[in-house]
Amino acid sequence: MKCVCNYFLNPFSVRPTPPVILNSSPDTNIILGIEGTSLNLTCQSTGGYPQQKVELYRGAVTNVNLLEGPSAVDSGDLYNVTRTYTFDPRSTDDGVMFICQSSYSGDPRMEGTSNVTLELACEYAFNFITFIFLCF
């Protein structure tokens, strides 16, 4: 008697939650920054199988992915992927949309996107001038 063992890949996939940018205001999708002060944009997608890919774009998804290096992955039965992009905003970043995208190799590839708009607080240098009024 000959025994043959067959194995197969797990035939199912689980859609992750739509990605979110954690440090944004949930009501307005705005993230506040100060020009020249370091800012973190943290993009997270949870509960996917197989492991989803998380990407962050500035302006449009046709631009270069801002996230480089490994993901922070917490895996049990499902994957939770967190990616952080740190930068020093400039005045040209004011009003720019940042897009967080989650995808994986199963069908459908695109799982979801979320976006935030960056609003910069400007720091103005004030010149204090003392006026002396002379009364005659």
Q: Looking at residue 126, what is its pLDDT? A: 42
Average confidence (pLDDT) over 36-48: 89
pLDDT digit string, tens, across residues 106-127: 555 666 777 778 787 655 444 4
Q: Looking at residue 1, what is its pLDDT? A: 55
- Is the pLDDT assigned to residue 49 strictly greater than 80? yes
pTM of the model: 0.71
Q: Three-state DSSP class for 44?
A: strand
CATH code for the structural domain at 20-121: 2.60.40.10
- Is the pLDDT assigned to residue 46 strictly greater than 80? yes
Q: pLDDT band at 133, cuts 50/70/90?
A: very low
Provide the residue type at 49 as one letter: Y
- Please report, for the chain, the start and end positions of each structural domain, with discontinuous segments joined by +: 20-121
pLDDT digit string, tens, across residues 67-89: 876 677 777 788 898 889 999 99
Instruction: Read off the tokens for 15.
Output: 């859609």
Average confidence (pLDDT) over 125-132: 42
How much is the mean pLDDT over the chain? 75
Q: Are strands 79-87 and 39-48 parallel, antiparallel or unpaired?
A: antiparallel
- What's the rounded Cα separation, in Å, for the pair 12 and 54? 20
Burial tier of 57 (Cβ tally within 10 Å: 0-12, 13-18, 19+): buried
DSSP letter at 25 equals B
Q: Looking at residue 122, what is its pLDDT? A: 57
Burial tier of 130 (Cβ tally within 10 Å: 0-12, 13-18, 19+): exposed
Neighbours of 20 (CB within 10 A): 18
